Amino acid sequence: MAITQRYVARGRSYRAVLKALVRKAWGPSETRQLKDPFAGSYTLGRAIQPPLPLEQLLALTEVSPIHAACIEAKVADAVGRGWEWVPASDDSEFDAQEMDAILEDITPDWTFQELVRQAAWELEALGWSAWEIVRGDKGQVAAIYPLPGHTLRATPDPRIYVQMRMGQLRYFAAFGSGLVLDPRTGQEADLPPEERASEVLVFRYYNPRSPFYGLPRWIAALPTIAELVAIRDYNLGWYESSGTPDRWIHIKAPTPEEGESLADALTQQLEQARGRAHVTIITYASAETEGEVKFLAPLPQGRREASFLQRREDLIKELLMAHQVPPYRVGWAELGSLGGSAAREMLRAYRAGVVEPIQTVLESRIDRLLGEDGLNLPARLRFSDVDWEERESDAQVVERLVGAGVLTPNEGRQWLGYNPADDPALDMFYLKGQPIGQLPEEKALDLAGQAVRELERALRAALDGHMTA
């Protein structure tokens, strides 16, 4: 956060600096900025302004592929493996299938698994997320709906939340508060059950800067995302503006006037031929005039673009560090010490520092929903952990198979449960890191033999270890 600290030292507030970085990461054009629909409500004191604009935090997931992939990986590992039921007390008895059926019955538009993924995704992307809890005539929980976190705001009363959609306000009572509110005014009123405001169950991380809102744990990576987007925009601008020249045309003529005339004729023909695949340029001169036109080699690309390649890789690693996600979880192969796999060490830190905290926040809030204030069930929900040892073993096997030319990288991704990538290079077979189709036949056969022998030794060693165990 060196950039942030430098601007704070110049007198700008911490919040103003972070907002500026979010806007910079979203894009340079002012017309692309998302306006906060709650601006008037903040002025009137009807809502509390969040530390960062939630709409723009949401937009960052659409402009940075690594950032979006990290969030998806954490959500998949935290809640994507389902859950199991544990007794609410020592003498509780329950049927797990019956518990699952109850959860599915109260989620009419979505499955409960989809609701859990929504809560986890927005918790990681925005720092908080919410569910709408609708009660029936007798006060029982009748339905649960996802409530987009970027449309929700806290109010000066911690028991009341407000949502804005299409210019309309709707108020909600905090889950378990017991308030009976008018959903249009946010005032307490004696209303029948069908006219009362729904309740809202909020999931959030602790944030010392605001008692009302959470902040995503990757917030320190805002300058990193801004720089990645700036590099991308620069590269696009470079090639769109012909920053790298395709050709250099040098004109030699007896007089400056004749040279300028010939240059104008060439320029006009090049403009007329724009977009064509093949271009023929015709020049002419009188017999007395000696002229010459040379098409020289293009100028070499500047060092700045080459340095961006290394800088971009450093920024991606920095973003992965902020998310605490192992590189291979987003499709990036990373070697450990002495060229070995670092998957085991990474997975241990990832599980303790990322996956389990997400599960803890979700489980603690869902326990309230399942408890006396909500469904009053005899069981509590606990999310299943990834089989880390099996996943690590699968990753190592896929790495060897791809390196031996048995699988393409995209087939390896499918093996591990990821969607194939669009890059054509990932549909090719490789031997020792080199595409098979680009190798001489003898070299390819030699590398294939070596890879197969190494693979046989690895599989034999794995089998022997399994038999011994």
Q: How confident is the model at residue 467 (pLDDT cuts 50, 70, 90)?
A: very low
What's the pLDDT at 454?
A: 67
Name the least confident of 172-181, 236-245, 317-326, 360-369: 236-245
Question: Domain segments of the chain: what residues?
Answer: 19-244+302-384, 247-273+282-297, 387-469
Top-ranked range on mean pLDDT: pick from 71-80, 244-253, 426-435: 71-80
Token pair of 290 as six digits? 């000696």
Cα separation, 85 vs 384, whole angstroms: 10
- Shortest CA distance to 162 belongs to which of 265, 280, 19, 38? 38
What's the pLDDT at 293?
A: 63
Q: Tokens 């036109």 belong to which residue?
A: 293
Over residues 353-402, the pLDDT tens digits come to 899 999 999 999 999 999 999 999 999 999 987 666 556 667 777 777 77
Buried b (16+ CB within 10 A) or exposed e, 261-299: ebeeebeeeeeeeeeeeeeeeeeeeeeeeebebeeeeee
Over residues 62-118, the pLDDT tens digits come to 988 899 999 999 999 999 888 999 999 888 899 999 999 999 999 988 999 999 999
What's the pLDDT at 435?
A: 76
Cα separation, 83 vs 76, whole angstroms: 13
Q: Compute CA distances 178 → 135, 172, 364, 366, 397, whole Å.
A: 11, 11, 20, 18, 55
- Burial (0-12, 13-18, 19+ Cβ within 10 Å), 105: exposed
The count of residues in the chain is: 469
Q: How confident is the model at residue 155 (pLDDT cuts 50, 70, 90)?
A: very high
| Mean pLDDT (the chain, rounded) | 79
Is the pTM higher than 0.75? The answer reads no
- Burial (0-12, 13-18, 19+ Cβ within 10 Å), 2: exposed
Token pair of 413 as six digits? 């991704």
Q: Compute CA distances 211 → 39, 51, 199, 207, 215, whole Å.
A: 20, 10, 19, 7, 11
What's the pLDDT at 468?
A: 47
β-sheet bridge partners, residue 380: 86
Over residues 283-293, the pLDDT tens digits come to 666 656 565 66
Identify the three-state secondary structure at position 7.
Answer: helix
Phi, psi of 429 (to 5 degrees): -90, 140
**Is residue 447 predicted with pLDDT exceeding 70?**
no
Instruction: Give 117's contacts (C-beta < 8 A, 6+ positions apart).
Output: 75, 79, 80
- Shortest CA distance to 123 belongs to which of 298, 352, 310, 358? 358
Name the least confident of 20-24, 171-175, 313-317: 20-24
Name the least confident of 158-172, 335-349, 411-425: 335-349
Q: What percent of the chain has a predicted confidence (pLDDT) above 90?
A: 32
**Is residue 120 predicted with pLDDT exceeding 80?**
yes
